Amino acid sequence: MKHLYPIILLFLTTISFGQSGFNSDSFIVSRSDISTNTFEIDSTANALVIYEHGNSYIDQNTYSLKTEIKRKIKILNRHGFEWATAKIYLFNNNNRKEKVTQVFATTYNIENGEVTKTELKTDDIFEEKYNDKYTIVKFTLPNIQEGSVLTYSYVLESPFIYKYYPWNFQDEIPKLYSEYNTSIPGNYEYNIKLVGNQKLDKEESVVIKNCLSGPRNSSADCAKTIYVMSNIPAFIAEDFMTTKNNYLSRIEYELRVFKGFDGTVNNITKTWKDADNELRSDASIGRQIGKSTSLKPLMGDFLTDKNNTLSIAQDIYKYVQDTYVWNGEYKIFNDVSVKNLIKSKSGKVSEINLLLHNLLEEHGISVRPILLSTRDNGLPTKLFPVISEFNYLIVQATIDGKTYFLDATDPYLSFGELPFRCLNQYGRLLDFKSGSEWITIDPATFSSIQYQVDLKIANDRVSGKVKAKYMGYDALDKKKAFFKNESTYIDHIADLQSDINMSNHEVQVTAKNSEVISETFHIERKNNGAVNDMVYLNPFIYKFFEENPFKLQQRTYPIDFGYKKSYLYSVQLDLGDTYEIVEIPEEILQKLPNDGGDFILKTTVNDQKLMLFFRLNFKESFYGPEFYPILKAYVDKVLDVQANSLVVLKKK
């Protein structure tokens, strides 16, 4: 009987591990953890977290926030070696700073049939300055091999209780088990936010009496909560997304109220009404809004039609675009001065757009500033005001009942067009009289690429004329390249089509901030599809997609184009008196659900001329993840049509 219990335990453990190959129930490393070198759930994974555990609480003696972290990682192949380096970011502010203690790390391998352990040495732990606010403590575990299992643990101590330690359940590698325990005293009230699409497997809370003692025999109860998430897929970034921080599944905290043991109450997180009052008196925002520019007399020389409000707004916008240069800084709450901008002719985003706001207002145009967070910065929370989450400012102008979003930092933007970095779903419209509100940031018009091709076929040659037109965001890069160096631009266009001879290339664009750029050119190429009396011609001389940007088996986050997209391609093929049509591409008419887009391919024949019309529309700028397999299939179909559409001709 003495030996029976260990045998039964070993048997049960073997069954448990056999289901996945890994011990995801604890921090302890099993032999199976080391010997199992495949992860069938995600064969693309280079490493995975088998087990991780976090525990955050307020220290009884120092009243600082302590977080104990344990993590067990499997290295599946050499591409996963980067996960052997741990980085711990420590925040500092004035004389207060975070610190890390009790760092322990071990590498486990199987060598000559035996489990070996290699421990991290204290001398291999390094600290370096990251920026003015952060230092990094980092270490790389020793003796890393394919198949290694790594464990490390440490304690993070922070004096910044207002920001309770956040927990990332999801990362760029899969996780089998992630648990986070918190113990929050009743005198700390936090806004708690669960971000991302992954669901918790467990969320349990209990109240622990008298967990934290204060002066004069005072105490507080604690809410102890356990959060668990298991079988978490890796987050894999792909095209058409904003920052991954918008979608990584995690828990975040923001201190709302602090209640002192002496009875005092400090409301840390304000209402939007409170935030508006603070912004109104802020020297960098509120006091700059509506400030006299002293430029109104000068503007008379730039206004082309003083009786047309829209024309006045467009002229003022162009004046600011052309006169003031953005210095690349996004700052909106520090050292903002419109006066300094006017003097130096160079400044921050906020300074340029506040000047635009004030000039428009001086000319009787209804304007409001809008606070934004850029695509790379992440979405600001709507649950409560966190002003630090905003990093950008634009202007809303209302003219003759129509609303325009304006940003004068880029001379190539057309009136009413925002930089792509600003297309991040929504912003906060500031109105200090009626109260601020959330508004949607969504370009109203399509951006499009259009090709109109007029071809003739003779013997083994195809020749003709191409008219190309680019609108909206699809025109931006074109305009910048053209105005930078016209000859280089034309040479580059020619180089893109190595099998086509181009000539008579002309570009039509009126100004840097034009909404449209067009170009025309003649083309000629050898028709390699001629066989005896038969001709096999692919009418798609120009293609919109070289490959499908959607490659994931499953995408759990939205497809965010930023703007509505349209692709148009029309071809007219003159057959002359030489050829007759044997076969043409089949017509296609497909629509995305909820009228979210369409895909059309249509061919007609009239008087020895074949006409083909292709259109692909994405009528929304933002699609939920449920649209991913549909969009992926759409682009696959487009690639097939581009590559395999054939017009078969026969000599008469």
Question: Are residues 258 and 307 both part of a single domain?
Answer: no
Q: How confident is the model at residue 6 (pLDDT cuts 50, 70, 90)?
A: very low
Considering the domain boundaries, does residue 16 fall inside one? no
Question: Are residues 279 and 337 both part of a single domain?
Answer: yes
Tell which wins on pLDDT, 298 or 158.
158
| Site of tokens 């890393």 | 144
Give me the phi and psi of 9, to 5 degrees please: -60, -45
Domain containing 597 equals 447-651
DSSP strands (E only) in 130-269: 134-140, 149-158, 167-168, 175-185, 188-195, 202-213, 219-232, 250-259, 265-267
Considering the domain boundaries, does residue 646 fall inside one? yes
Question: Are residues 195 and 155 both part of a single domain?
Answer: yes
Considering the domain boundaries, does residue 15 fall inside one? no
Residue 469 pLDDT > 90: yes
Residue 4 pLDDT > 70: no
Domain boundary among 380, 413, 441: 441
Considering the domain boundaries, does residue 548 fall inside one? yes
Any idea what the CATH number is for the domain that residue 95 is in?
2.60.40.3140
Amino acid letter, 311: S
The DSSP line for 587-607 is PEEEE-GGG-EEEEEEEEEET
Q: Which residues contact 14 (CB under 8 A, 6 or more apart)?
A: 32
| Predicted confidence (pLDDT) per residue in 620-637, tens digit | 999 999 999 999 999 999
Alpha helices in 455-582 (DSSP H): 473-484, 486-496
Name the pairing type of β-strands 447-458 and 565-574.
parallel
Considering the domain boundaries, does residue 410 fall inside one? yes
Domain boundary among 266, 286, 321: 266
Any idea what the CATH number is for the domain that residue 353 is in?
3.10.620.30
Sheet holding 219-232, edge to edge: 114-119, 99-111, 149-158, 65-75, 47-58, 175-185, 219-232, 202-213
- The pLDDT score that the predictor gives to residue 489 is 86
Question: Are residues 114 and 25 both part of a single domain?
Answer: yes
Question: Are residues 209 and 313 both part of a single domain?
Answer: no
**Cβ neighbours, 10 Å, residue 473:** 23
Give me the phi and psi of 632, to 5 degrees please: -60, -45
Taking the C-alpha atoms of residue 57 and residue 310, their distance in angstroms, rounded to an integer, is: 58
- The pLDDT score that the predictor gives to residue 529 is 65
Question: Are residues 176 and 295 both part of a single domain?
Answer: no
Taking the C-alpha atoms of residue 494 and residue 533, their distance in angstroms, rounded to an integer, is: 31
Mean pLDDT, residues 158-180 taken together: 95
Question: Are residues 186 and 215 both part of a single domain?
Answer: yes
| Predicted confidence (pLDDT) per residue in 546-563, tens digit | 999 999 988 989 999 999
- The pLDDT score that the predictor gives to residue 15 is 36
Amino acid letter, 596: G
Considering the domain boundaries, does residue 643 fall inside one? yes
Question: Are residues 477 and 592 both part of a single domain?
Answer: yes
Residue 421 pLDDT > 90: yes
Q: How confident is the model at residue 545 (pLDDT cuts 50, 70, 90)?
A: very high
Domain boundary among 441, 472, 499: 441
Residues 452 and 466 sit within 8 Å (Cβ to Cβ): yes
383 in the Ramachandran plot: left (φ > 0), alpha (ψ -120 to 50) or beta?
alpha
- The pLDDT score that the predictor gives to residue 528 is 65
Structural tokens at position 39 = 């992860």
Considering the domain boundaries, does residue 451 fall inside one? yes
Structural tokens at position 322 = 């052309």
Residue 287 pLDDT > 50: yes
Considering the domain boundaries, does residue 510 fall inside one? yes
Tally of domains within the chain: 3
Residues 155 and 88 sit within 8 Å (Cβ to Cβ): no
Question: Are residues 200 and 234 both part of a single domain?
Answer: yes
Distance of CA 65 to the CA centre of its chain: 31
Structural tokens at position 416 = 């009413």
Give me the phi and psi of 420, to 5 degrees please: -55, -35
Any idea what the CATH number is for the domain that residue 593 is in?
2.60.120.1130
Question: Are residues 594 and 542 both part of a single domain?
Answer: yes
pTM for the whole thing?
0.86
3-state SS, residue 556? coil
Residue 18 pLDDT > 60: no
Question: Are residues 148 and 219 both part of a single domain?
Answer: yes
Question: Are residues 360 and 482 both part of a single domain?
Answer: no
Mean pLDDT, residues 368-376 taken together: 96
Crossing angle for the helix pair 486-496 and 473-484, to the nearest 10 degrees? 120
Mean pLDDT, residues 445-467 taken together: 90
**Cβ neighbours, 10 Å, residue 539:** 23
Residues 650 and 534 sit within 8 Å (Cβ to Cβ): yes
| Predicted confidence (pLDDT) per residue in 499-515, tens digit | 788 889 999 998 999 99
Residue 261 pLDDT > 90: no
